Chain A
């Protein structure tokens, strides 16, 4: 400060430290990784289709290129009708959960938050369990009752949490977290009861709770992908609000963020993305918690960088986890994300220079 005038007289201070090229390099690396895991995800499985044929089928059907047909119709069916929608669904769900994770962590200013923290998981699970118990079989937009009630349950639970939290006094953030916990516990009791009553349907409920992509199809992808894509883009356009909230609600208001409105909008968008993801894939844990943290450890907390890079990482992680799950023999993908992700996350936390404060 004492040198203020000297500085003023000279050239403007260099701001090189603010102009890191690293995010661009990381984004490029993320895209390359995603393409690699995408091709691997389509090529590998219980029936391996050679990379050359896989690429040929993709080029032919996806890009409309006239390439010599070296593959069998069976291979084309496997790649085009089974694997491609499955891999794309995993990518979409990975994006949705990662973006929702960044949003919930930023909104609640809590590193432990994940897409399921405000009741979406328990709401979806209870909805799915009720669908299993009900003697009704219906199909809406190519989804069964289980998927539909999971979607509705997730949104209903988070709406309830938001309404209840707004009635309480005191800090909104703490109020939301505690209400989410209370409502989640209540719904978990309902889920336990439903599972107890479900009899032969228990395995179906359990499969939903562990998550997976076996039931993917083009039609289901066509319903879920636009919802996740649109909500993710709209969240990305509100990165400024998430950045303001880094310093707390009052400071965010001083920096021009209409906290009450932005919180409601971001909460709604992130909940929609989560509900859509959960409805198609069940409760795949960990990706929504870990991807944002891994990205933050590398590029810092700015939502402008964390949102897109987490989306890329979440997509890659989910496709990779699903691939592993298939190769091991159709085990639930949630088991893979936890088994692989948790140790990786612990190593990263130990290596990062500073820990987390709660």
Chain B
């Protein structure tokens, strides 16, 4: 499998303190990978590096063989879609206006959205199931609804790599499962490479064929859920009774 996304001895430090230490990782086109690990393990920092937002202290991030630092922001945005953190919107913004922002990297610089963009936006709205929220001000929605709207925006961005940081944190159980199904569907139909940080190990193990376990900024294990989430590791890395996540590995 060709390495779509390659992290090579990547080290990232914030004010001299390393958050990611010497991580090497290859993710092939069309893979679905969940990053798991305790708080402060460096998962979100790793995602930011893959999105080209942080300068590595050492090592490199390559997209299809090109160092991400040498690509312009627009070129990165066409290849890597990110579901952003819930923003504070300064002005009243309808749900469809938020989703439409996903087309920003693709739209015509002067004329804006073309008909093809509009149908992609409409499709993303239907696919994520936020059609019933159309016309509403995104600032009035619940946290979970806002999270779905932002997911729809990232789907509309239609990049070959989709990055999600805790996409289910504000969602009820049914919507958690639906989001996981959607990610699997994007992966199966469009061949989208999925890289997601997940805290829920059961969700990660059930819906992702490959897990990368981070601890203290380093990769501790990488492979199928059953290999990665061994009872010993769960006890060592997360400091909890493995029985609590036994369902996942059963």
Contacts and interface: CB of A to CB of B under 8 A. Distances in A.
Decide whether A and B are members of one complex: yes
A256 B76 CA distance: 7
12 contacts: A15-B121, A18-B118, A110-B90, A111-B91, A243-B101, A247-B98, A248-B87, A255-B157, A258-B73, A300-B92, A301-B89, A356-B92
B223 interface: no
Contacts of A47: none
- The SS class assigned to the A binding surface is loop
A287 B88 CA distance: 26
B88 A357 contact: yes
B140 A13 contact: no
Nearest to A250: B84
Interface of A: 1-4, 7, 12-15, 17-19, 105-106, 109-111, 237, 239-240, 243-244, 246-248, 250-251, 253-258, 296-297, 300-302, 304, 352-354, 356-357
Contacts of A17: 96, 134-135
Interface string B165-186: 0000000000000110110010
B123 A19 contact: no
Contacts of B102: 255
B139 interface: yes
A18 B78 CA distance: 22
Contacts of B139: 354, 357
Given A14-B122, A248-B84, A301-B91, A255 B101 contact: yes
B127 interface: yes
Given A105-B90, A246-B89, A246-B93, A253 B53 contact: yes
Contacts of A1: 127-129, 178-179, 181-182, 185
B112 A300 contact: no
Given A1-B128, A248-B88, A255 B122 contact: no
Contacts of A257: 73, 104
Contacts of B101: 243-244, 246-247, 255
B200 interface: no
B66 to A, nearest CB: 16
Interface in B59-114: 72-74, 76-78, 80-82, 84-85, 87-94, 96-98, 100-102, 104-105, 107, 109-110, 112-113
Given A13-B119, A109-B90, A255-B105, A250 B53 contact: yes
A212 B127 CA distance: 55
Contacts of A304: 112
Contact-residue size bin, chain B (C-beta under 8 Å from the other chain): 35 or more
A274 B201 CA distance: 54
Contacts of B90: 105-106, 109-111, 246, 301, 356-357
Which of B101, B112, B119 counts the most A-chain CB atoms under 10 A from its CB? B101
B77 A255 contact: yes
B199 to A, nearest CB: 20
Contacts of A2: 129, 178, 181
Contacts of B219: none
B51 interface: yes
Nearest to A8: B189
B167 to A, nearest CB: 13
B145 interface: no
Given A18-B100, A296-B91, A256 B78 contact: yes
Contacts of A15: 118-119, 121-122
Contacts of A244: 101, 104
Contacts of A106: 90
B161 to A, nearest CB: 12
A18 B113 contact: yes
Contact of A253 (B73, B81, B85): B73
A250 B92 CA distance: 20
B82 to A, nearest CB: 4
Contacts of A110: 90
B125 interface: yes
B133 to A, nearest CB: 12
B34 to A, nearest CB: 19
A113 to B, nearest CB: 9
B222 interface: no
List 6 A-B pairs, minimum CB-CB distance, nearest first. A256-B77, A251-B84, A256-B105, A15-B122, A256-B74, A254-B82
Given A255-B104, A300-B93, A247 B122 contact: no
A7 B127 contact: yes
Interface in B15-31: none
A296 B89 contact: no
Nearest to B82: A254
Contact of A13 (B80, B122, B129, B137): B122
B232 interface: no
